[in-house]
Structure 1
Amino acid sequence: MKTLVLAEKPSVGREIARVLKCNNKTKTYIEGSDYIVTWAMGHLVELAGPEVYDEQLKKWSLETLPMLPLKMKHRIIKKSSNQFRSIKQLMHRSDVGHLVIATDAGREGELVARWIMRLAGWKKDFSRLWISSQTDGAITEGFKNLKPGRDYDRLLLAAECRAEADWIVGLNVTRALTCKYDMRLSAGRVQTPTLSIIVNREKEIEDFEPAPFWSIEANFGLFDAKWRSCKGNERISDEAFANSIVDKCMDSKAIITQLSEKEVVEKPPLAYDLTTLQQDGDRLLGFSAKDTLRTLQSLYERHKIVSYPRTDSKHITPDIVPTLKNRLLAIKDSQFLSKVEGLLSKDIKPGKRFVDPSKVGDHHAIIPTEERVNISSLSREEKMLWELIVKRFLTVLSPDSISINISVALECGGEFFYVKGKKNIKKGWRSIENIYENSSQNLAGLKVGDGIELKGVKAIKGFTSPPLRFTEGTLLEAMSNPVKYMMDKTLKESLGAGLGTPATRADIIEKLFSSYYVEKKGNTLHPTAQGTELLTVVPNMLKFPDLTAKWESVFEDIAQGRAKSQPFLKEIREQTTLLVNEIKSSSGIFEPSGLSKETCPMCGKNLLSVNDKKGRPKKVCRSMSCGYEESNGPKNRKDFAREKSMGRKLINQYSDKSSDTMTLGDMLKAAMENHGK
C-alpha cells in the first residue's frame, strides 16, 4: 500500500516528492514506489456563502440579517476545484492506505488539510508531518518521526472556531453596514480595532497644541552638560526663570560634585519572530509587512535557507542546539565569514535566555537552516532580508557587550548640571550590529572636587511634539501588544496573542489599504476620510482590541484542551445579533469628506477621491451595487480587467438590448437611404 502526502503548496510538494524519491510527475501529483505527493493551493475548501443556506440571502438586505446558521457548511473553491477532484481521486485509490498531512505546521495549515479530507471523504488513518524548515534533512527526519494525526484535533477545533466566528461576525456586520448606508463598507474583529488605533492617533496629532519650553545647556570645553532641577526635570516652562538660571551661572566656575562609574553588561537581542522581523524590515529595509512575509516565505520554501516564517517565538528548543554549528557552516561562504569563524573557534553554548522551550509554541525563532546558501541565486530583496536574519542569528550567539557608564554632576552658580558618557570595554554582539560607538563626550580623567571652567551657557527654546504617526513597523508592534488601546484594562492578563496573529497582521494592513481606509504618505500611515467616518457608524464592541484579545485567548485554550468550542460559538451568535441590531437601529449618517463633484458613469452617485497604496490618486464609487473605479496613474493588469468588466456593465446598462445587430455595411446602407430621402 502507498502513502498519500498532502502538502499546502505545489512548490513544497515538489520538494517533498524529490526527497521521497517520487519521480512520476503529473500536473496534480508526483508518484513514487512508496509515496504519492499531492498538494493544495492554499485553501481548496472554504466556508459556504450565505446563499447556500437560503436562496434569499443572495440579495443583500437588512431584513435577512442576522445570518446565523446552526451548522456551518463547506464548499470547494471553484478556481481550484480541479486540484480538489484530483486529491479526492487519489484518496479513494485502492492502493492508498495511509495519509500524511504535510501542510504548514500551524493552525491554518491544519485547517487546510482537514477540510480537504472531510469533503473528500477520507476515513482511514493519517499522520502529521511537523517540521520547522524545508531542508532535505528536516524533511527526512520529519518522516522518520511522524506524529499521530489525531494529536492535532484540538488545533483543528481552534482553527474552525476562528473561521466560523470570523464568518458570523464579519459577514453580518459588513452586510449590515453596507445595506444600512448603501456604501461598500467592511468591518471585522481585527481590521476595525486596527483602523481605530490609526484614527485615534491621527486625532491626537490634530488636537495637539505645541507648548514652548526651555532647556539650559552649558559648555565646559571637553563636554556639554544639561541643567536639571532638584526634582529631575530638564524642561522649564517659564522663559524668565530659564534666563535667570543662565544669569546665575554666567562667569561662574563649576565644581564636580559627583562622579560614578558603573560596569554595564548588555545581553544580545533575541532572535527574530515574524513580527519583529517585519518591524526591522520596515525600519531598516523599507519593506512593507506583506513584502517581508512574501520574501521570507520564498527564503523558506524556495531556497530553504531560513526556518519556518510564521512564528511568534524568539527562542529555540534544546534539540536545536546541536545543529547550530552546521547552521553557521551553511552561511560561511558569505560576507559573514570572519564572524562565523570567530564563533566556530569556541564552543557554542547559548544560554537559557535563548534556549527556552517554555517560550516556543508551534515553531522556534526564525534562524538560518543547515542548507548552504548560494548568494547569487537570491534576488535583491531576498538577499537583504536574509542578511538581516543572519546578522541577528550571529548576534544572538555572540558574547555580551560590556561598557562603563560614567555619570558626572557639576555645581555652577548654585545650579546643577549633569552629563553622561560611555566607555566600551568589550564589543561583543554590538560589533555585528554595527552600533559599537564610544561616547563623544570626553569624561576621562575627571574626579570629584575638580574645578571646570565654564565656556558658555544658554537657554534653548523648544516645543513639545505630538505623538508620531504609525509606520507599518510600529503598527505591527501596536497590534502585537495593544494593551494601551484596550477599553477594559483589566483584560490585560487575557490578552493572548494581541490583534490577529503574526501570520495574519500583514494581510490586515493590506486590507486597510485596499478598502481605502488608510493610505501611505512616505513611510507613515494616514487614515482616509472614509476610514475616519466608518468608525462613527461601527458598533463600539468592534472598535477596541478587547474582543479579538478574548477570541485569541479562547482559541489558545481550545487548542490546549482547556476550553470547548460550542459555548464560544454560541456566545458569538448572541454577540452578532446585538451588533446587527445596533447597526439597524442607528441614526448615524455616513458622509465621508473627499467626495468628488464628478459622478459615477454607472450609477450617478458622487465618486470618492482616494489614493492607492503607492499614493496614486484615483476615484472610486463606493455604492453597494456599483464598484466603478478609475485611476489617473499607470495601469496594471488588474486595472485593465476591472475596466473591461466595467465596460461590459456599461454596454449592458445603456444598450437598447434589441436582438437585432448592425454591421458596418448595414450602417452605410442606412446612411445612404437616409441621404436619398
Structure 2
Amino acid sequence: MSGEIIVIAEKPELARAIAEGLGGGARQDGFIDCGRHYVTWAIGHMLELVDPQDPWNMAALPISFIPWEKRPVAKTSAQLRTIGKLLKSARSVIHAGDPDDEGQLIVDEILQWAGSRLPVQRLLINDNNLKVVQRALASMRDNREFAGLSASAEARSVGDLLYGVNMTRAYTLAAQARGFQGVLSVGRVQTPILGLVVRRDRDFEAHTKSYYYTVSGQFSFAGLTFPARYQIGEGDPVDEQRRLIDRNFATAVAGAVQGQPARIASAKTTAKEAAPPLPYNLLKLQTDAARKFGYKPNQVKDITQALREKHRLITYNRSDSEYLSDEQHADAPGVLAAVAATVPMLAAIAQRADPAIKSRAFNSQKVSAHHAIIPTEATADFAALTEPEQRTYMLIARAYVAQFWPANQYDQTEIEIEVAGHAFAARGKVVTKPGWTVLYKNDVGNEDIAEDEDTLAADLRSIASGMAGQCLSASADQQETKPKPLYTMATLLTDLTRVAKYVRDERLRKLLIEKDKGKAGEHGGIGTPATRDSIIATLFDRGFLIEKGKNIISSPQARGFYDALPDQAKFPDMTAIWHEQQRAIAEGKSDAMTFVRGLADYVGREVARVKEQGLAIAIDAPPCPSCSKPLRRIKGSKGYFWSCTGYADGCKFTANDKAGKPELVKAPAPVPSQQHKCQACGAGLVRRPSAKKKGAFWWSCSAYPGCKQTYFDNKGQPDFSKGERA
C-alpha cells in the first residue's frame, strides 16, 4: 500500500463521492485507489469507550473514568485495521468526517488510535454532489482549527458514560436493597424523556374540568349567510387564555346582537400561497410513520436502513436536515424518473411534476452535516419490498415530488363586523389553485397542511367594507376545558425537539434553544434523530413506558422511580448545562478533562447521597418471614430464587421461585412408601413427578442425600428390572 495521501471519509458513500471528485479510482479491499490518493472510510464510530467490568457493588461506586480508554468496535475492526495499514505508508491525511462535532471526533479518534503524526487537512462536505465535492477539495483547511469540536464531542461521550453507569448502578442497587427487581436505567437524555411522560400523565389525571363560553352569530350580507365569532373586548371577564368565563355575560352578548342590524367594519381579501411541506428528516419521518402506520421510531430507522443499504432507494437515513443543496436541484429529472419507475401509484404525479420548479427546500445555507432524506436515482421492483418498506418509501418519494408541483394558491378574506356595539370576525378561504395539496388530499391529521379551525371554507370575497346586513341569530355555547392529551409516539417525538419549553430556568431555556440555532425542526431539543429511537426503546424494555392503545403512558414503577430522583436528573436542564460547557470546550476556553472532572465531582456527591439516604422508592416486594425486610428475586446458576435483602445483617432466609413469586409455604414432605424399598439401602422409596415430561413419574430413595438411588416408574410401581434411573 503506497498511497501518498490518505482520505478518511466518515461513510462509504461519501468515500465514493470523494473518489469521483478526484477523478475516479479502482475499488480495493477497504479503500479506493485514486493514484496519489487512497480514499478509505469509517463506518460510524469505530472506537468505543471501555465499559467498567467491576461487579455491581455499591462499595465500588463511584467508578472513575479518568483516564478513559477506547477499544475497537468488534464489527468494524477489520476496516479499522485497513485504515491503520494505509496510514503507515502515507505522507499526509485528509479528514473527511461530517462537518459537525461527532464527524470531527470519528476521524480524529482513528488518527489518535493509529498513533498518526501526519499533517492533516480538513475536508468539509455536506452534499455528495460532484460539483460540491470538487469545490470542497479545492478549499480545505488545517484540521487543527477543529480540535475544539472533537474535544467537545469526546467530553459529551465520556460524560454520558460516566453519568449513566454510576447513576444507574447507584439507584438500582439502592432500590434492590428495598426489594426492587430489575434495573433503574438512568441517562442524561433518557431520564428527562421519562420525566416528560410521567408529568404529562399526572397532569392529565389531575385535570379538573372547568368551563368557558363562546358566542357565535349567524350573519346575512348581500344574500350571503355565514357565521362569525365574538371578539373579546376590553374589560370582558376572561381567563389567562382570553376565554369568556362568565355564562351570564356570554348570554347577554348573544341576546344583545340577535336580530340586530349589522355593518361590515372592514373586509380585506389577500391572495396567498403555501409551499409544500419540506422533505423529511429522520424525526419527521418517524413522526409521520407513527401517526399513519403505528411504526415505532426504531422500526423506522431499520426500515430506512434497508431502503438505503439493501435497495439503495434513498439517501442517508439518519439526517437531521429538511433541506437540500442548490446543486441537488439539477438531479430532479433523474430522481423523478426513478420514483415514477419504482412506484406505479406515484408514476402519474411524478410525471406531472415540473423539474424547473425550485422550492424553498433547495437552500445550501440551511443544509447541516447532512441533507434531507430523499429518493435516489436508483429503481427497484416495488413488489419485492416489504409493506413497511413500500409505505415508508412512498412517504419519502411523495415529499420529494411535492417540491416540483406548483404552490397551493388561495384567497383569504378577513371580515370584521359591528353589531349592537359588539365586534365579530370571520375568515374565509377559497382555493384558486390546489397545487401540491393534490398529493396530500387524503392525508388526515398532517400538521403541515392542517386547516385553521377558525377558517371557513366559504367564499366571502364579495363582502365589502360598509355593507349593511343583519345578525340572524346568536348563541352562547359552553365549552369544556381539556387537559393536554396523553402522548402518542408521534407527539412524544415532536415534543423531544422542543423540550426547552419545559425548562424552568430562563437562562437554561435560552441555552437549549441556542443549541439548535440554525437547525430546521429543532427548537431546544434533547437527544438526536439518530439516538432518540433507541432511548425510547430502552424505556419500553425496562418497563418504564407502556403502550395503551395509541397512547404512551408511564408505568407505576416509572412513577415511583421518578419521584425518588433529584430534579437535575428528571428535567432537561442538564443538557443545557452541558451545552454551555461543551461550547466552551469547542471554543478552546476549556477542555474535556476539566468537564469530566467536574462531572465526576457531581456524580460522586450524588452517589454519596444515595449511599447515605438510600432511595425512597415504593416497592411492592413480599416481606421476609424471618425478619420482615423485603425479599429480592435473584438469578442463580440453577434459575431464580428469592433472598432476604437483610442478608448482610445476618438474615439468611431464601425461598424457591414459583412463577415469579417466592414459595413461602413449603409443600409437605412426601411420605416414603412402606411397600417399595430401595434395593441399595432398604429405605422407603418416594414417587415423584417428572420435571421434563408432563404425566410422567420416577422413584427416589427417601434416604437422600445419603443414598442417591433412583428408579424408573412402571404404571405406579418402581421398575427394579431396569436398574438405576438415568
TM-score, scaled to structure 1: 0.75
CA shift, 1:553, in A, is 5.2
For the residues of structure 1 that align with 2:658 and 2:459, how far apart are their CA atoms? Answer: 62
Alpha carbons of structure 1 residues 431 and 485: separation in structure 2 relative to 1, 3 Å: same
CA shift, 1:191, in A, is 0.8
- Which residue does the alignment assign to 1:266? 274
**Residue 492 (1) aligns with residue 500 (2):** no
CA shift, 1:289, in A, is 1.8
CA shift, 1:171, in A, is 0.7
Structure 2 contact 192–569 (Cα < 8 Å) conserved: yes
Bigger mean CA offset, 464-473 vs 273-282: 273-282
- Which residue does the alignment assign to 1:466? 483
CA shift, 1:521, in A, is 1.4
Give the number of equivalent residue pairs: 619
**Residue 478 (1) aligns with residue 495 (2):** yes
CA shift, 1:46, in A, is 2.8
Task: Show the 5 A alignment for 1:29-108.
Answer: 45-51=47-53, 58-75=54-71, 80=74, 84=77, 88=81, 91-92=84-85
Give deviations 1:461-482, integer Å, cap 9, x for gaps: 2211111222222222222222
CA shift, 1:166, in A, is 1.1
- SS class of match (1:536): helix
**Residue 367 (1) aligns with residue 388 (2):** no
CA shift, 1:558, in A, is 4.6
- Which residue does the alignment assign to 1:544? 571
Structure 1, unmatched stretches of 5+, are 52-57, 608-618, 632-655
- AA of the residue aligned to 1:565: A
Give deviations 1:466-519, integer Å, cap 9, x for gaps: 112222222222222221111322123422143122211111111111111111
- SS class of match (2:476): strand
Equivalent residue in structure 2 for 1:163, among 144, 157, 161:
157
Structure 1 contact 134–307 (Cα < 8 Å) conserved: no
- Which residue does the alignment assign to 1:653? none
Give deviations 1:570-628, integer Å, cap 9, x for gaps: 222222223222323336421156x79999xxx99478xxxxxxxxxxx99999999x9
- Which residue does the alignment assign to 1:388? 395
Alpha carbons of structure 1 residues 258 and 139: separation in structure 2 relative to 1, 3 Å: closer
- SS class of match (1:534): helix
Task: Show the 5 A alignment for 1:524-539.
Answer: 524-539=551-566
**Residue 344 (1) aligns with residue 354 (2):** yes
- Which residue does the alignment assign to 1:651? none
Alpha carbons of structure 1 residues 591 and 413: separation in structure 2 relative to 1, 3 Å: same
**Residue 179 (1) aligns with residue 145 (2):** no
- SS class of match (1:490): helix
- Which residue does the alignment assign to 1:217? 216
TM-score, scaled to structure 2: 0.70
- AA of the residue aligned to 1:514: D
CA shift, 1:239, in A, is 2.7
Structure 2 contact 125–369 (Cα < 8 Å) conserved: no
- SS class of match (1:584): helix
- SS class of match (1:367): coil
Tell me the percent identity.
Answer: 25
Structure 1 contact 210–463 (Cα < 8 Å) conserved: yes
Give deviations 1:412-465, integer Å, cap 9, x for gaps: 455443221112233344334336999533435333454545554333222111
For the residues of structure 1 that align with 2:203 and 2:543, how far apart are their CA atoms? Answer: 21
Alpha carbons of structure 1 residues 320 and 251: separation in structure 2 relative to 1, 3 Å: closer
Alpha carbons of structure 1 residues 665 and 324: separation in structure 2 relative to 1, 3 Å: same
Structure 1 contact 133–300 (Cα < 8 Å) conserved: no
Structure 1 contact 2–95 (Cα < 8 Å) conserved: no
Give deviations 1:84-110, integer Å, cap 9, x for gaps: 368548845999769998988865566
- Which residue does the alignment assign to 1:327? 335
Structure 1 contact 111–160 (Cα < 8 Å) conserved: yes
- Which residue does the alignment assign to 2:689? none
- AA of the residue aligned to 1:533: G
- SS class of match (2:287): helix
For the residues of structure 2 that align with 1:165 and 1:187, how far apart are their CA atoms? Answer: 13
- Which residue does the alignment assign to 2:190? 191
- SS class of match (2:496): helix
For the residues of structure 1 that align with 2:66 and 2:550, how far apart are their CA atoms? Answer: 45
Structure 2 contact 213–476 (Cα < 8 Å) conserved: yes
Alpha carbons of structure 1 residues 191 and 630: separation in structure 2 relative to 1, 3 Å: farther
- AA of the residue aligned to 1:215: T
For the residues of structure 1 that align with 2:152 and 2:527, how far apart are their CA atoms? Answer: 14
- SS class of match (1:50): coil
Structure 2, unmatched stretches of 5+, are 442-448, 517-524, 634-639, 648-653, 661-702
CA shift, 1:348, in A, is 4.1
Larger Rg: 2
Give deviations 1:27-79, integer Å, cap 9, x for gaps: xx79999899999887664322323xxxxxx33222222112321123456xx
- SS class of match (1:311): coil
Structure 2 contact 264–464 (Cα < 8 Å) conserved: yes
Alpha carbons of structure 1 residues 341 and 561: separation in structure 2 relative to 1, 3 Å: farther
Bigger mean CA offset, 63-72 vs 408-417: 408-417
Alpha carbons of structure 1 residues 144 and 420: separation in structure 2 relative to 1, 3 Å: closer
For the residues of structure 2 that align with 1:303 and 1:622, how far apart are their CA atoms? Answer: 53
Equivalent residue in structure 2 for 1:431, among 438, 444, 451:
438
For the residues of structure 2 that align with 1:590 and 1:127, how far apart are their CA atoms? Answer: 54
For the residues of structure 2 that align with 1:622 and 1:454, how far apart are their CA atoms? Answer: 78
- Which residue does the alignment assign to 1:410? 417
- AA of the residue aligned to 1:365: A
- AA of the residue aligned to 1:577: G
- Which residue does the alignment assign to 2:463? 446
For the residues of structure 2 that align with 1:338 and 1:556, how far apart are their CA atoms? Answer: 49
Give deviations 1:106-165, integer Å, cap 9, x for gaps: 655666666667667777788999876899x89998998998995776554333222211
**Residue 401 (1) aligns with residue 395 (2):** no
For the residues of structure 1 that align with 2:641 and 2:213, how far apart are their CA atoms? Answer: 49
For the residues of structure 1 that align with 2:351 and 2:383, how far apart are their CA atoms? Answer: 22
- SS class of match (2:564): coil
If each structure's helix is expressed as a fraction of its own residues, which one has the higher value?
Answer: 1
- Which residue does the alignment assign to 1:650? none
- SS class of match (1:187): coil
For the residues of structure 2 that align with 1:223 and 1:30, how far apart are their CA atoms? Answer: 70
- SS class of match (1:551): helix
CA shift, 1:670, in A, is 7.7
For the residues of structure 2 that align with 1:74 and 1:623, how far apart are their CA atoms? Answer: 39
For the residues of structure 2 that align with 1:499 and 1:319, how far apart are their CA atoms? Answer: 31
Task: Show the 5 A alignment for 1:512-661.
Answer: 512-552=539-579, 554-555=581-582, 558=585, 564-586=591-613, 588-592=615-619, 605=631
For the residues of structure 1 that align with 2:136 and 2:266, how far apart are their CA atoms? Answer: 65
Structure 1 contact 90–96 (Cα < 8 Å) conserved: no
- AA of the residue aligned to 1:490: R
- SS class of match (1:193): helix
For the residues of structure 2 that align with 1:620 and 1:15, how far apart are their CA atoms? Answer: 58
Alpha carbons of structure 1 residues 5 and 206: separation in structure 2 relative to 1, 3 Å: same
- Which residue does the alignment assign to 2:306? 298
**Residue 248 (1) aligns with residue 248 (2):** no
- Which residue does the alignment assign to 1:615? none
Alpha carbons of structure 1 residues 31 and 272: separation in structure 2 relative to 1, 3 Å: closer
Structure 2 contact 358–403 (Cα < 8 Å) conserved: no
- AA of the residue aligned to 1:277: L
- Which residue does the alignment assign to 1:309? 317
**Residue 420 (1) aligns with residue 427 (2):** yes
Bigger mean CA offset, 508-517 vs 307-316: 307-316
